[in-house]
Amino acid sequence: MWSIIEKIVVFFLGLFFRVFHKELKEETKKGFLQFIKFGLVGVTNTVIGYLLYVGTLFVLKPYDVRWDFVAANTVMFVLSVFWSFMLNSHFVFKKEQGESRNFLKALMKTYLSYGFTGIVLNNILLLVWINVLSISKFIAPLLNLIVSVPVNFFMNKLWAFKTEKTSDDDTNGEKMLLKEKCPVLHFEQLGDERGHLVIVEGKESIPFSINRVFYIYGSDRDVVRGQHANKESEFVLINVAGTSKVRLTDGTEELIVELNEPHMGVYIPKMIWKDMYDFSEDSVLLVLASTHYDPEEYIRDYENYIHTVQG
């Protein structure tokens, strides 16, 4: 469902930018799609919140609780915000490779964000719409959304769900092994008697958005390709035909991965030296990259690389 929505949004966003003769940059597209996702989470939050509110009223009805609507509103706020937090952390503000986020700290910040926009900001705006601008009490809450939703989005994006770089260390402060930095990925293999189908989606099957695709074929078995590290680019390598091997090092460890199935790949983060070799005669090595080509971000001298990573 999201893939369909994404295509529609990107189409109209691109159309809008073309009308004004502007270039739609990847960061702009990514940010706008993130905002749309946040809005969709908000819609589900509204539905869940209302159901919780009504459900709590029904539960309390036999007990003749005087302030049942206050209890219902409290239950609605606590549980619906938690619902939003879980969806936002897994669907909207996902952590990138090498990033960490404190769960409890992010959760508390989320409650504060929603509390500020839902109670403080919305009440101030209602006073302006109704008492100052004489707008109907029934229309004013709808106008609040124009302001409160973007404010809430940026508070969540820049504050509540802010991540920290973990570099080569995991959340326990222990150094990550090279096989953890460069995991082997296995993609779902679909198809039937007509043949097989493998789908790889940026930010879904792999940790980054795909900005460049290239492939290597026709290399002899004794040829070594790659022989460089990248300051900014992340990669996923997949042998869609034949086989090859990838030698990886971070300056401390060495890891060799054999790519011998078209539905497996290896993720290579920034600043990992890579050599591709031992190509079979029918090898086609597909490379997915997170950035557009920039020769300035390549480190092609191994001694220079070792000096850089080891200080």
- The sign of the CA dihedral 206, 211, 217, 222 is negative
Task: Scan for tokens 């930010």, then name that residue.
Answer: 203
Q: Using CB atoms within 10 A of its CB, is residue 116 exposed (0-12), middle (13-18) or buried (19+)?
A: middle
Task: Scan for tokens 């070792």, then name that residue.
Answer: 306
E strand or H helix at 114: helix 103-115
Asked about 228 being catalytic, the answer comes back as yes
**Contact, 44 vs 83, CB < 8 A?**
yes
Given the residues 21, 186, 228, 292, the one annotated as active site: 228
Q: Using CB atoms within 10 A of its CB, is residue 29 exposed (0-12), middle (13-18) or buried (19+)?
A: middle
Catalytic site residues?
A: 228
